[in-house]
Amino acid sequence: MTRFCHGLQVRANGVRLHLLRYGGQGKRLLLLPGITSPAITWGFVAERLAQHYDVHVLDFRGRGLSESRPGLDASLDAMAADVTGLLDALQWREAIVLGHSMGARVAIRAAARNPERIGHLLLVDPPVTGPGRRPYPAPLSWYVDSIRLATQGTDAQGLRAFSPTWTEQQLQLRAEWLHTCDEAAVVQAYNGFHEDDIHADLPRLRTPGLLMAAGRGGVILPQDLAEIARLAPGLRQATAANAGHMIPWDDEEGFLRLLGEHLGCTFDGGSHGRE
């Protein structure tokens, strides 16, 4: 059962941003995907979340159907300003913000700078890299090589070497949409994983929320969770024990169970398709 409503284009922070809307009722929830995840690839999660929320999934600048052009600033600061700009353009006083990976880092930066605009934070396995810290576990070449392959034209089998645990449907959708991820924007964002000090933002968070780590992802280690607990005690912590970094792809039900336990609701049914 789908709860997709429509797509929309919004002018915010000086750029054109595309969103997909699901549900249309309940509290507003803005979903911020990862570095090479166009909005449509999160549709299977948005459909489940839409049981209780008015869900909008963002195509970050340089990805999906949002604005993409040579020289476009795809820095953490620019993307965080996009979030606030979107809230203004949509005339939302505040929203729940769910961010995965890069999107979680964007959510942290936006909430630290504009705490009154984000009512609740749901942070899913954000990279905890930064100046003087260990590098992000996935190399830049993983992203660049797969984008170039998709730009030339490939199918699910062509991308299987990059994501061997994904289902055929997951890979088909990635093969269809990965070419919309601008390589320069992805490179800038990836470099930002190592150059932007997200830990300096954590003590400034005044927004309650959840930090969900992947038990098999290697992105957030136990010592990182302990450090974040000291820096941002307002964030509850949970671990998706059976999932890698792409938590909903590896364990959709476990991901939604942890979210539901935190939010005080349940998400019924399963999403058997990914398109």
User: Residues with Cβ < 8 Å from 233, sequence gap 6 or more?
Assistant: none
pLDDT at position 271: 47
* Positions in the chain short of pLDDT 70: 1-2, 270-275
Model pTM score? 0.96
CB 39 within 8 A of CB 181: no
CB 216 within 8 A of CB 190: no
Alpha carbon separation from 245 to 136, 154, 184, 190, 227 (Å, rounded): 12, 24, 23, 15, 19
Token pair listed for 11: 């002018």
Q: What is the pLDDT of residues 84-124, one digit of tens each?
A: 999 999 999 999 999 999 999 999 999 999 999 999 999 99
- For CA atoms 72, 40, 169, 152, give the dihedral sign: negative
pLDDT at position 273: 36
Give Cα 89 distance to the centre of its chain. Answer: 20
CB 210 within 8 A of CB 121: yes
Give Cα 20 distance to the centre of its chain. Answer: 14
Paired sense of beta strands 27-32 and 95-100, if any: parallel
Distance in angstroms (rounded) separating the CA atoms of residues 10 and 28: 16
pLDDT at position 269: 79
Alpha carbon separation from 205 to 38, 101, 202, 208, 245 (Å, rounded): 27, 18, 5, 8, 23
User: Residues with Cβ < 8 Å from 27, sequence gap 6 or more?
Assistant: 52, 53, 54, 95, 96, 119
What number does CATH give the domain 4-134+196-263?
3.40.50.1820
3-state SS record for the chain:
CCCEEEEEEEEECCEEEEEEEECCCCEEEEEECCCCCCHHHHHHHHHHHCCCEEEEEEECCCCCCCCCCCCCCCCHHHHHHHHHHHHHHCCCCCEEEEEECHHHHHHHHHHHHCHHHEEEEEEECCCCCCCCCCCCCCCHHHHHHHHHHHHHCCCHHHHCCCCCCCCHHHHHHHHHHHHHCCHHHHHHHHHHHHHCCHHHCHHHCCCCEEEEEECCCCCCCHHHHHHHHHHCCCEEEEEECCCCCCHHHHCHHHHHHHHHHHHCCCCCCCCCCCC
pLDDT at position 1: 59
Sequence spans of domains, the chain: 4-134+196-263
Task: Tally the C-alpha atoms within 13 A of residue 156's C-alpha that lie toward its C-beta.
Answer: 11
